[in-house]
Amino acid sequence: MVVSLEKEMAANRAKSVTHSLSRKLNPWAVKLKKAPVPDKITFNPKNRPGFYEQGVASRLPEAYFKYNRPFAKPPPLHWIDPGRDYVKDPETGERVQTERMEIPVEYPEESQFGLWGGEGFIYGMKIARKNKRFSPRVPKVWKPHVKTYTLYSEILDKKFELGVTVRVMDLIDEAYGFDFYILKTPAEELNSLAGMILKRFMLLKLAQPETIYPDDLEKRAKILKKYRHYIIPYEEAEWVGLTPGEAVQKQRAIEAAANPDIPLQDTYTKELLSRLREEQEGVFQMKHEEPESKTLLSRLFRRKSEEDEGTPV
């Protein structure tokens, strides 16, 4: 036991000596030890840059955001926001709390290929049996009533068969025509890829008046006068109705045309690939030429040997 205690004391003395020497020789180590411990780094997904905040998408023109409005949400249709938490009852004068619970709506893929007017699927619960006090609740899905209608566009001079809800038909009547409804309604209220594509073609047609009824000048003049408030430049109309992927691809093509300088990596890779192809073609030709040359040589040697054998000594 005494020996072990002496060994521990000697080890502690050696540690203290080395520690004092390191403090004298390396003052920065002492400063680092006295430095405060940094806070724990945590990843916050809310602060992560979005799709339109980095890369090519951050350089998209204002026309894309002006007409497509990717940040806007569809307006609520099945509830009205009172705007405040409490209201005054008109009869009793008491302060009554309002219901500001938004009804969640799910938009299926089919809604993008028709005109649903912002309507979608609503998931909820219903009572299984009517007039039953203790009836259990079962899940239910409320779906919009969609019908296939043939709609005519004056600007495009074409008919389209689309799945349309009753609400959209009422909105078309309120707008005094199918073209007016498509051109007036913003992107978040249309909430339809088909509707935005139709708007794009209509605006492109209006931006090029010579393409509207080329054989009927009177009708062209009437349409241009009728929809004169919706005419925009052709450069802006090209960005209407594009999906994020299509918009990024278009922006890349514009930047590539504006900056034709090709990176050296691309040029070197192309040169290397061309050289490899040439070498492969040369090897392929050699492989096909070698057996033919061998056969010719063998034939010549055979003929010479036959001639030598046939000549008398």
3-state secondary structure of 105: coil
Please report which confidence band the pLDDT of residue 48 belongs to, taking 50, 70 and 90 as the band edges: low
Question: How many residues comprise the chain?
Answer: 313
Residue type, 84: R
Residue 261 is encoded by which pair of tokens? 């300088």
DSSP state of 115: B
How confident is the model at residue 45, as a pLDDT?
Answer: 57
Give the integer Cα–Cα distance in Å for 132 and 125.
15
**pLDDT mean across residues, the chain:** 81
Give the model confidence (pLDDT) of 244-301 as tens digits.
999 999 999 998 888 877 778 888 898 999 999 888 887 766 666 555 445 555 555 5
Residue type, 107: Y
Please report which confidence band the pLDDT of residue 313 belongs to, taking 50, 70 and 90 as the band edges: very low
Give the integer Cα–Cα distance in Å for 202 and 240.
10
Q: Is the pTM of this model over 0.85?
A: no
Give the model confidence (pLDDT) of 78-128 as tens digits.
777 777 888 888 888 888 888 777 888 899 999 999 999 989 999 988 887
Residue type, 179: D
Cross-strand partners of 122: 142
Sequence-ordered alpha helix ranges (H) in 70-192? 166-174, 178-184, 187-190
* 8 A C-beta contact, residue 117 and residue 171: yes
Q: Which residue has the higher pLDDT, 94 or 33?
A: 94
The backbone torsions φ and ψ at residue 121, rounded to the nearest 5 degrees and listed phi first, read: -90, 135
Residue type, 267: T
Give the model confidence (pLDDT) of 54-69 as tens digits.
888 889 999 999 999 9
Give the integer Cα–Cα distance in Å for 84 and 82.
6
Sequence-ordered alpha helix ranges (H) in 123-177? 166-174
Nearest to 105 by CA among 145, 146, 142: 142
Q: Which residue has the higher pLDDT, 301 or 197?
A: 197
Residue 11 is encoded by which pair of tokens? 């080890």
